[in-house]
Structure 1
Amino acid sequence: MNAIVTDKTDKPWEKLHELITGAGTEEILAFFDFLGAAETARTISRIHPEDQVRLFSILTPADAADIIEEISDTQAADLIEDLPPEMAAAILEELDSDHVVDVLGEISDHRAEAILDEMDIEGAREARQFLEYPPDSAGGLMVSEFLAYPEGLRVSDILKDLQKNRETYTGYNVQYLYVTEKDNRLAGVLRMHDLLFPSKDAYLRDLMIKNPLKVSVDTPLEKLRHFFEEHRLFGVPVVDGDGRMQGVVLPEAVEEASRKRSVRQFLGFSGIVGGEEFRSMPLLVRSGRRLSWLSLNIVLNVIAASVIAMYQDTLSAAIALAVFLPMVSDMSGCSGNQAVAVSMRELSLGLIRPNELIRVLLKEAGLGLINGAALGLLLGILAFMWKGNFYLGLVVGSALAANTVVAVMLGGILPLLLKRMKMDPALVSSPLLTTVTDMCGFFFVLSFATAVMAKLSGV
């Protein structure tokens, strides 16, 4: 061990390169044990792609799977996609079913299908079935590693099975046993300690908790999160439309999915599309993900700037207006983004639905009138104090008030409209809102100023 451990100032990826080219499996595994999870992800990302392939060819599929579990799904997908399909399939077969689906979901369809073709028939069939469910639903988050037994079995039968398959079941997250009736329909649930005290001749149907809590395969992430907040369970069974047992959703899977959704929303608001980005990704891939939003942003800003071009004579005659144009658009944009955030949050909690546009409009209109009046009055006073011109204060104050009303109403309904159009509200709301508030802000300031141009001469 001492031969491979380096101090914290070393670059572990350089040491890993040396081990890949000249060491054995035991030394490599000992090195990863020393690194820990966080450093493993960083180290793997820094080695050359050829070294990554060579590393996984050296390790057994089980050992490679242990490393895959230490890194993010996006990073794991990048690694798996570069491996030969038969090697990738062998590694994925060592992972839990939900992890397999998470990784395959990040891979291109044709590459994922090539890997599935190399997997065992049952594992591939199950993975294809799970991939059909939305990733943020019970079907997409459930695991297939659970214990279910027919209600006609006795306790002794279960104990024998547990003993016989103890090595297989060791990797399961077993807190409950599920009891099924005809056609694999869920009939009840047993806690593990329910097997310890009853007679070994007792039937499961007599010991089980009947009509257990359950969720359907299409239950969305928000409802799953609320379920586990209300019910402190170690897992919940997932059933299809006919009540047949399909899998189990664990609370940690729901927590992880919620975290991933927050990351996606943050990236969307930041203008990064296509999922997570790491600096270890190919340069052109990273460039494309950023340019896809930046290019759109250029077009949107040209549209906003065209409003200024329409009123360039007014702007030339009252140059002081140029100082207030960005203030009006930025302040309104902030108000609109507040409304976006509230709508996004209420959508995620299920408090509003995409068709409740009128309700949201009315709620935001009232708030916009109050906040717009307050902000407009404040900016108008500041403009008057600066130039001593009442009409300058009136123009910029009225423009900010009107634009605030527009911004909060639009910010409130835009996520709902995008949701109805099957688009990601987090990805598109901000650039659209920014462009519209800029256009409206410029229009209100310059059109109001044009109406009282004679009173603004010289400011």
Structure 2
Amino acid sequence: MDQKLQMLLDTVRRLVRRGAYPNLSKVLAKSHPADIAHLFSYLVPKEQQILFNLIENTEMAASVLSELEHSTGAFLLEQIGRETITEVLQEMPYDDAVEIIRNLPEEIAEEILTTMQDEHSEEIEQLLQYAEDTAGGIMSTEIFSLREETTVQQAIADLQQAKDVEMVFYVYVTDAHGHLVGVMSLRQLLTVSPATQLKDVMVTDVINVRTDKDQEEVAQLVAKYNILAIPVVDEWNKLVGLITVDDVIDVMREEATEDIYKMAGASEEELLYGYKSFKVAQLRLPWLITNLFGGVITGYLMWQFKATLSEVIALITFIPVITGMGGNVGGQSATIVVRGFATGRIDLSSLRQVILKELRVGIIMGAVCGITVGLVALIWHGNPFLGLVVGLAMISAMTVAASMGALAPTFFKRVGIDPAIASSPFVQTANDITGILIYFGTATLFISHLH
């Protein structure tokens, strides 16, 4: 946090503690909505509620809500009167209002939609029909478009009068039936003869998405083509909405956060429960139970090799090293593949190269670590065959771990399951089991030389 925000946070906390709410209202009135929203991540729910209730300007409150996590915004709105909720939501862009309403309890959401003015209610209900994580669910319906017969002079005049649209990065062109047929940049619009019709100068190859397109794929398209906005069309190619770069940034942040939570065996749903320990524990336990059973299986395998372990007790020295390094390598490979899927850098057509690359990396890292730990075993216990066993096991375990780290997310992707869930519980457990099998299997082969 920079110095300015830190000073603002300290001031807000001090005024809340003192109950100096009039002074706090004045501070908020002079602050930028984005700065106020940033403070909420450092405040407990009670402080968040106090702060939000002190924002007197409805437009300011709407701007703050637009910058917050949607679940947090819904929680704050639940604490105020229904009439005030309606007023705040009416000041928000429709796409942001829809996300807030999705997170409200169903009975409150229905009441709000009934209370809203017809125009707002119709737009929001239309957006609510689309799935939450699709282009239709995140698009804005406030879009600037013109008919193809419009002249450049008239287009500029219309653009100057376009006060209701959120952002205008490009001029989208439609035919008489509302079908998207072209696009023009604002620079192009200003450098063409005023009498020219848009259909004579527009670009007809328009990058667009359907309403049912997954939001992550939309973000990848915007990043790939370096555009500031992307139009949304229905199944008949009619222009129905627009997704701007600020929406895409939100999607990227949400998707990255979701992947990180899943890879850690947690869930973003925890944010909804605040400090409710039992609820949070309930969300995390399934992943931990998976690792628990994996640990039990690992212990069972070690018990099966008890004869080998009892004959050469020195083998116990390197069990944590073999399993730990395998888990680390597998986790690295899984993270690379999961992130590659998320950003679009890896797809099913390039998987073979990715898996072979991770296999080669595993062999190289395994060789370096295997030689190192083998020398440690030789120096420590004075047995060259123990060093050979530990070194070979390390090379094999790390190679298998790297391959499994790439293969597990790939398998989940192919069967239609989010690959992020494979990275932590599945890969870690699988690598512990294979590491133990490889280590003790190798030791059993050389048991006669290890005494």
Residues 4-403 of structure 1: pairs in structure 2 closer than 5 A: 12-13=12-13, 15-16=15-16, 23=22, 29-36=25-32, 37-38=34-35, 40-42=37-39, 46=43, 49=46, 52=49, 56=53, 59=56, 61-83=58-80, 87-107=84-104, 112=109, 115-131=112-128, 133=130, 137-153=134-150, 166=163, 168-169=164-165, 172-192=166-186, 202=195, 204-206=197-199, 209-217=202-210, 218-220=212-214, 224-225=218-219, 227-229=221-223, 231-275=225-269, 277=271, 280-354=274-348, 360-403=354-397
Q: Which runs of 5+ in 2 are unaligned?
A: 1-6
Q: Which residue of the other structure, out of 414, 419, 429, is the alignment partner of 1:420?
A: 414
Q: 1:328 offset after TM fit, Å? A: 0.5
8 Å contact kept, 1:194–1:207: no
TM-score (norm 1): 0.80
Q: Distance in 1 between matches of 2:321 and 2:190?
A: 71
Distance 1:404 1:424 in 2: 25
One of 405, 411, 414 as aligned partner of 1:411: 405
After TM superposition, the structure 1 stretch with the greater mean CA deviation from structure 2, 427-436 or 338-347, is 338-347
Residue 121 of structure 1 deviates from its aligned partner by 4.7
Residue pair 1:357, 1:413 contacting (<8 A) in 2 also: no
Whether contact under 8 Å (1:368, 1:409) holds in the other structure is yes
Structure 1 residues 112 and 305, CA gap change in structure 2 (3 angstroms): farther
Q: 1:363 to 1:275 in 2, by over 3 A?
A: same
Local SS of the residue matching 2:424? helix
The separation in 2 between residues aligned to 1:75 and 1:222, in whole angstroms, is: 22
Q: Contact (CA 8 Å) 1:53, 1:82: kept in 2 or not? A: no
- How far apart are residue 148 of structure 1 and its match? 1.8
Change (3 A) 1:15 1:133: same
**1:249-294 residue CA offsets vs partner (Å, 9 max, x unmatched):** 2223223322332222222222322446389554444333333433
Shift of 1:399: 1.8
How far residue 58 of structure 1 moved from its aligned partner, in angstroms, is: 7.7
In the comparison of the two structures, how many residue pairs are matched? 444
Task: Give me the CA root mean square deviation.
Answer: 3.9
3-state SS of 1:179 partner? strand
For the structure 1 residues 117 and 203, does the alpha-carbon distance in structure 2 shift closer, same or farther, using more than 3 Å as the test? farther
In the TM superposition, what whole-angstrom CA distance separates every residue of 1:230-255 from its partner, at most 9, and x where no partner exists?
54543232222322112222223223
Q: Note if contact 1:176-1:191 (Cα within 8 Å) is conserved in structure 2.
A: yes
* Percent identity (aligned): 28
* Structure 1 position 157, deviation (Å): 5.9
1:388 CA drift (Å)? 1.4
Provide closer, same or farther for how the CA distance between residues 352 and 51 of structure 1 changes in structure 2, counting only shifts above 3 A: closer
Preserved contact between residue 73 and residue 106 of structure 1 (Cα < 8 Å): yes
Q: Supply the distance in 2 between the matched residues of 1:336 and 1:72 (Cα, whole angstroms).
A: 32
Deviations along 1:279-334, whole A, 9 cap, x unmatched?
A: 95544443333334334332332232222232234323322212101101111122
CA distance in 1, matches of 2:273, 2:103: 17
Q: Secondary structure at the match of 1:209?
A: coil
Q: Which amino acid aligns with 2:85?
A: A
Larger mean Cα displacement after TM superposition, 335-344 or 153-162: 153-162
More deviation in 238-247 or 120-129? 120-129
The TM-score, its normalising length taken from structure 2, stands at 0.81
Residues 157 and 35 (structure 1), Cα distance of their counterparts in 2 relative to 1, 3 Å cut: closer
Contact 1:271 1:427 in 2 (8 A): yes
Partners of 1:235 and 1:68 lie apart in 2 by: 22
